[in-house]
Structure 1
Amino acid sequence: MKGKYVSIDVWATWCGPCNAEIPHLKKLEEEFEGRNIYFVSISCDDSRNAWERFVQVKQLGGI
C-alpha cells in the first residue's frame, strides 16, 4: 500500500451503525476503483465464524 491513500474502517458484525454504513462504503469503493486509494476494513469481532459468515452474506470484498 506504499504510496497509496488508505481509508481504514473499523467495524463489527453486531454494530448497527456499522451495518448501516455498508451500502455507502460499497458505493465509495466502486466510485474510487482504479484510483490511488485502498479501503481497509478491520473487524473487531471476537468470533471468526461470525465475521466470515457476515462477509459472505453481505458479499463484502476489500482487504
Structure 2
Amino acid sequence: MDTRQRLIVGSLWIGVAALMAITLEPGVPSTVGEIARLFVVIVALFLAAIYLFDPWNIHSRLLLDQE
C-alpha cells in the first residue's frame, strides 16, 4: 500500500471517528449504546493511526508477503 492510499484510508477512518463522535453526548457515557459509540470512536482513531503512521511496518510486511 503506497503512501497516498494509506493517507486516503487514514482520512476515511478519521471521518468515521468524527461522525461517531458527533453522536456522543458530552460527559461520561452512561448507557450501553453510548459506551459502544465511544468504543467505535477509539477503534476508528486507532486504525487511522495505524494507516497514517504505520508504527510497526505492518503495511511493508504485508506487501512483502504478497510478492
TM-score norm. by structure 2 comes to 0.30
Structure richer in helix, relative to its length? 2
TM-score norm. by structure 1 comes to 0.31
